[in-house]
Amino acid sequence: MKRSHSCGALRGADAGKEVILAGWVSGRRDHGGVIFIDLRDREGLTQIVFNPSLSSEISELAHTLRSEFVVRIVGKVSPRPEGTKNSALATGDVEVLASQLEILNPSETPPFPLDEEGVNEDLRLRYRYLDLRRESMAKALRARHQAALAIRRYLDAQGFLEIETPILFKSTPEGAREYLVPSRINPGRFYALPQSPQQFKQLLMVGGVEKYFQIARCFRDEDLRADRQPEFTQIDLEMSFIEREDIYALIEGLVKTVWKEVKGIDLPTPFPRVKYREALDLYGVDKPDRRYGLTLVDFTETFRTSTFKVFQSAVAAGGVVKAFNAKGLAMVTTGQIEDLTNLAKSHGAKGLAWIKVEKGEWKSPIVKFFSEAEKKTLTEKLKVEEGDLLLFGADQWLAACEVLGFVRIRCAEYLEKAGKLKRDPAHLDFHWVVDFPLLRKDPEHPNMVASHHPFTAPVEEDLQWLESEPEKVRGQHYDLVLNGVELGGGSIRIHKGELQDKVFREILKIPADMVTSRFGYMIEALKFGAPPHGGIALGFDRLMALLLGQESIRDVIAFPKNARGQDVMSGSPAEVTARQLKEIHIQVEGVSGS
RNA sequence: GGAGCUGUAGCUCAAUUGGUUAGAGCACCGCCCUGUCACGGCGGGGGUUGCGGGUUCGAGCCCCGUCAGCUCCGCCA
């Protein structure tokens, strides 16, 4: 074979051995006489020494080595002379005195340095194969493998079967926009790529599999974010004969295993449970970042009879008044206040009321409308001190909470920049968010829509309100949240055909023919003795990003797409030939150049 | 669809109030150098300041437009 050891293997005890190493030239220090080469492979770095007194011919060739040349070296392992050991290197006690050098492949000068961080991401993506040689990417890929392996071992030990489900599926237009795939042999018909294996995993339960999992690729044709790619990976699983608590315990064990095996960190379990209502009330969001305070406080009663009409009328209309203390943010700039106001407005607020506490004074356009009693209540409940900034929301409960939720996060960013708040990535606040409403109002829909998906089972004791007061019904849904990021979610499913049918037709008010054409087979399947079942899906990319402290999931995916959904290395998506289009019965309109 | 930030050498960045020939480190090329590990020394090449237009005696800098990258909102059952 071409090599006897990896570049990370040799130690002092190997001294004297004749070895063969292969790898990339990571750096060279050419002294004119003696030449040092750092030879790198995925396991590490070994110093190679070319000494002209050993072989002038080899040394001559070594002068021509450059970064990223691929070479094979034969030589003798030698302890480094005293005083030249490198304790920063695992192999730093030894070096290899080269007696043979073979250039397996030269390299162009790399377009960016491989030993530095902070390089333009566009360039990294264009040369992703070089980027992957960098330590941080190599580590991420290895950690991802370790995590996947730990997950497979854990779930196997729990009795799960890994089963693949189709990638070419059927369009179900509810929910995320799908990628469509035209069928050549069925003109005018389309497959859709699955946004998740949801329906198949339920059908596997009907099929008696009992415990299924898959590290599944999912596809969603929506706009991208730092934590959203058009194709992404879910740890998807489903179990029969279970309740919610069974999923919590299973996933807590799984997450614990991953953090232990990849990072050596012992996570405390069980994870706390947070009710949806409480999450909104305190943090204004259903995936709260609880590492810092700035929690929302209710002042509805305080302002019920206020002379400040904006608050009073919001309460009179059945709404609430909420506020939080952005502690220490009185140094906020006018621009930042404007920014916060625009943020509030973009989420439907009419404006954003604020109060700065500076030099013992309350500075604000609205403070003149407040009574002494109102000020006193605010001071007490918000623990107002010099240097604070108070921010208010007055609207219907959900809208007021959500607006302040966004404002709260932005304030935390400002405070963090000013060094007054720390969102420590080492602080791992895992928690379950539970008791979500089964249904919600959607301004774009005349009827209520499922807040998660239409297969979620209602909470048993709330079933009585399904027709009379559907907004009161909780779903048996749960989200796993870590530090303000939704890591995953799932539910106990509806396992009876009659109830599923009723939810589609009577609650979601989907036309009967549409129910039949899109979900008929699901409803039918549930009528053939479907066991009670439920499951969950965790975002594997997000999990890896959080595990490794990366801001973007692109840094834990080998070949991600940029913010426009393009692969700038291969140049996809790309145009296709007229012939290809004809074969699949597609005509492209209104696009220049096609 | 909307908002913000960014765009200067291969890379990372600098360039006073609008002012002479746009600089530095690294990388690259040449020469020198036998114990370095961010090797060192001497020398050299390399720029449509993203692109287009405008203001001005004069624009990397100001204005308008446009393109690209990123972030956020909308969207993500």
Cβ contact A215:A543 at 8 Å: no
The structural architecture, per CATH, of the domain A12-105 is Beta Barrel (2.40)
Instruction: Report the alpha-carbon distance of residue A256 to residue A250 in Å, rounded.
Output: 10
Instruction: Report the alpha-carbon distance of residue A526 to residue A544 in Å, rounded.
Output: 35
> Residues A10-18: what's their mean pLDDT?
96
pLDDT of residue A524: 96
pLDDT exceeds cutoff 50 at A196: yes
| CB within 7 A of strand B (chain A, 88-117) | 88-89, 92, 95, 109, 111-113, 116
Instruction: Report the alpha-carbon distance of residue A7 to residue A197 in Å, rounded.
Output: 42
Copy the structure tokens of residue A205. Answer: 């339960």
Would you kindly state where each structural domain of chain A is located, as residue ranges? 12-105, 292-417
Task: State the nucleotide closest to A409 in CA–C1' terms.
Answer: B72
A230 beta carbon < 7 A from strand B?
Answer: no
Helix (H, G, I), strand (E, B) or coil at A171: coil
| CB within 7 A of strand B (chain A, 343-382) | 346-347
Q: How far is CA A538 from CA A151, A254, A516, in A?
A: 11, 11, 30
Q: How far is CA A584 from CA A69, A278, A524, in A?
A: 45, 52, 32
Q: What is the pLDDT of residues A529-555, one digit of tens each?
A: 999 999 999 999 999 999 999 999 999
Protein-to-nucleotide distance from the CA of A494 to the C1' of B42, whole angstroms: 80
Q: Please list, in sequence order, all residues whose beta carbon lies within 8 angstroms of the beta carbon of residue A7, skipping any fewer than 6 positions away.
A: A21, A23, A39, A40, A41, A43, A44, A45, A46, A91
pLDDT exceeds cutoff 90 at A175: no
The reply to whether domains A12-105 and A292-417 share a CATH topology is no
A80 beta carbon < 7 A from strand B?
Answer: yes
Residue A254 CA to its chain's centroid (Å): 17
Amino acid at site A420: K
> pTM of the full predicted structure?
0.95
What count of residues does chain A have? 594
pLDDT of residue A447: 85
pLDDT of residue A539: 98
In this prediction, what percent of chain A has a pLDDT beyond 90?
89
> Residues A380-392: what's their mean pLDDT?
95
DSSP A429-487: -EEEEE--BSEEE-TT-SSEEESS-TTBPBPGGGGGGTTT-GGGPBBSEEEEEETTEEE
pLDDT of residue A1: 62
Output the average pLDDT for chain A: 94
Strand partners, A458: A475
> Residues A409-421: what's their mean pLDDT?
89
Q: What is the pLDDT of residues A95-153, one digit of tens each?
A: 999 999 999 999 999 999 999 888 999 999 999 999 999 999 999 999 999 999 999 99
How wide is the angle at C-alpha A234 spanned by C-alphas A230 and A235, nearest 5°? 170
A47 beta carbon < 7 A from strand B?
Answer: yes
pLDDT of residue A441: 86
Q: Please list, in sequence order, all residues whose beta carbon lies within 8 angstroms of the beta carbon of residue A418, skipping any fewer than 6 positions away.
A: A328, A329, A331
Superfamily of domain A292-417: GAD-like domain (3.30.1360.30)
Greatest alpha-carbon pair distance for chain A in Å reads: 95
> Residues A403-428: what's their mean pLDDT?
91
pLDDT exceeds cutoff 50 at A592: no
Chain B: nucleotides below 7 Å from protein CB are: 1, 3, 10-13, 26-29, 32-40, 68-77
Protein-to-nucleotide distance from the CA of A94 to the C1' of B5, whole angstroms: 48
